[in-house]
């Protein structure tokens, strides 16, 4: 029997996606103003990536949720996955990664969450954990970023198998090779390397916006289903929480630096062709997005769906 707490089991697969919710503000993101879809890479979740003389590969923008509206694969996506030989995703969850996550979420020394955030904020966090029916016995040992991730996952995210993992299971069932573009240590470091003051600020913002999380999640699903990448990126950036320095730091860690790393690591499979690459859709658009970076490397990118 798996004794891992229910709220921790999906964290490794959804670690980065949880912070997309964390970055959203309290206003309705559907109303975010964006430019018309005239820019490159404006619309589409499935993109053909090709270079002359090599078989095509596919890049699919996902959302780390278990909602049936997003886990039901459109025919073009299912067909591209079926035709591919290799499946790549941000991170392949495994027992070692989960163990590292569990270890990294807690202070290894005598520090406590109470002394980092203060008794008043700690009391508010404890009350929110109790409201959600989550245990508080070890809460004082959690790092602020870990609590922020936990609280940024609403109930609808904590349960079920998210799209990324369903794709992984399907790829394995079809006999594809399954590979990760990042390691658990690298994804954890995105948050664990933040300073304690930055972590505290993110935790405060997360706790403050609890009532908006479920609403924001539904709005995010609607934007995703529209396949409007510019609006999806605008949702994440226009309503980021915290001061400008903190927002820039989080954006650099979550998107920019990881995009460069993932593009580099997918090169070998792209050169062979026949790869199906699934990453969070927010990584696709923009001048520093995966699509632009791939085009700069000489690949032709074309929206399929």
Q: What is the rounded distance in angstroms from the CA atom of residue 192 to the CA atom of residue 19?
A: 13
User: Residue 260: inside a domain, yes or no?
Assistant: yes
User: Residue 103: inside a domain, yes or no?
Assistant: yes
Q: Which residue has the tokens 């070998």?
A: 268
Q: In this structure, what DSSP letter does residue 253 have?
A: I
User: Residue 245: inside a domain, yes or no?
Assistant: yes
Closest CA to 226 of 37, 80, 48, 79: 37
Tens digit of each residue's pLDDT (9 = 90 or more) over 256-293: 999 999 999 999 999 999 999 999 998 999 899 999 99
Q: What is the rounded distance in angstroms from the CA atom of residue 298 to the CA atom of residue 305?
A: 22
Closest CA to 203 of 130, 256, 129, 253: 129
Please give the pLDDT value at position 206.
Answer: 82
Please give the model's pTM, rounded to 2 decimal places.
Answer: 0.86
Please give the pLDDT value at position 149.
Answer: 85
Instruction: Classify burial at 294, counting beta carbons within 10 Å of its beta carbon; exposed 0-12, middle 13-18, buried 19 or more.
Output: buried
Rounded alpha-carbon distances, angstroms, from residue 53 to 50, 56, 93, 96, 275:
9, 9, 34, 39, 15
User: Residue 4: inside a domain, yes or no?
Assistant: no
Please give the pLDDT value at position 92.
Answer: 93
> Are the beta carbons of 86 and 274 closer than 8 angstroms?
yes
Residue 133, token pair as written in the block: 């029916």
Digit-by-digit pLDDT tens for the chain (305 residues) are 444 443 444 455 445 455 444 443 333 333 334 444 456 789 999 999 999 999 999 999 999 888 999 999 999 999 999 999 999 999 998 889 888 999 999 999 999 999 999 999 999 999 999 998 999 999 999 999 999 888 877 655 555 788 999 999 999 999 999 999 999 999 999 899 999 999 999 899 888 877 666 667 777 888 999 999 988 877 656 545 556 777 778 778 888 999 999 999 999 999 999 999 999 998 999 899 999 999 999 999 999 99
The total number of structural domains in the chain stands at: 1
User: Residue 217: inside a domain, yes or no?
Assistant: yes
Tens digit of each residue's pLDDT (9 = 90 or more) over 135-182: 999 999 999 999 988 887 765 555 578 899 999 999 999 999 999 999
User: Residue 32: inside a domain, yes or no?
Assistant: yes
Please give the pLDDT value at position 212.
Answer: 65
How many other CB atoms are there within 10 angstroms of residue 24's CB atom? Answer: 25
User: Residue 1: inside a domain, yes or no?
Assistant: no
Residue 155, token pair as written in the block: 């109930």
Residue 187, token pair as written in the block: 């994804």
Please give the pLDDT value at position 155.
Answer: 54
Please give the pLDDT value at position 33.
Answer: 42
User: Residue 2: inside a domain, yes or no?
Assistant: no
Domain span at 75:
11-303
How many other CB atoms are there within 10 angstroms of residue 121's CB atom? Answer: 17
């Amino acid at each position: 029997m798996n004794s891992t707490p229910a709220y921790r089991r999906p964290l490794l697969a959804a670690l980065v996606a949880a912070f997309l919710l964390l970055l959203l503000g309290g206003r309705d993101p559907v109303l975010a103003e964006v430019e018309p879809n005239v820019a490159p890479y404006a619309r589409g979740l499935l993109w053909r990536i090709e270079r002359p003389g090599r078989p095509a590969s596919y890049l699919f923008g996902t959302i780390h949720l278990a909602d049936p509206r997003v886990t039901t694969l459109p025919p073009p996506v299912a067909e591209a996955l079926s035709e591919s030989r290799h499946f790549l995703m941000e991170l392949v969850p495994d027992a070692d990664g989960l163990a590292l996550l569990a270890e990294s979420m807690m202070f290894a020394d005598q520090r406590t969450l109470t002394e980092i955030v203060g008794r008043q904020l700690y009391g508010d966090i404890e009350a929110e954990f109790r409201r959600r029916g989550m245990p508080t016995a070890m809460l004082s040992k959690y790092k602020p970023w870990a609590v922020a991730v936990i609280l940024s996952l609403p109930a609808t995210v904590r349960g079920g198998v998210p799209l990324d993992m369903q794709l992984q299971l399907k790829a394995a069932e079809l006999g594809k090779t399954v590979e990760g573009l990042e390691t658990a240590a690298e994804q954890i470091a995105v948050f664990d390397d933040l300073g304690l003051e930055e972590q505290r600020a993110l935790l405060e913002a997360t706790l403050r916006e609890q009532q908006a999380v479920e609403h924001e999640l539904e709005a995010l699903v609607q934007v995703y289903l529209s396949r409007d990448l510019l609006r999806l990126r605008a949702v994440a950036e226009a309503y980021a929480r915290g001061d400008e320095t903190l927002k820039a730091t989080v954006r650099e860690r979550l998107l920019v630096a990881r995009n460069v790393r993932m593009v580099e690591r997918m090169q070998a499979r792209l050169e062979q062709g026949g790869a199906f690459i699934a990453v969070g859709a927010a990584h696709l658009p923009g001048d520093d997005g995966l699509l632009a970076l791939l085009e700069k490397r000489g690949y032709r990118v074309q929206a399929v769906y």
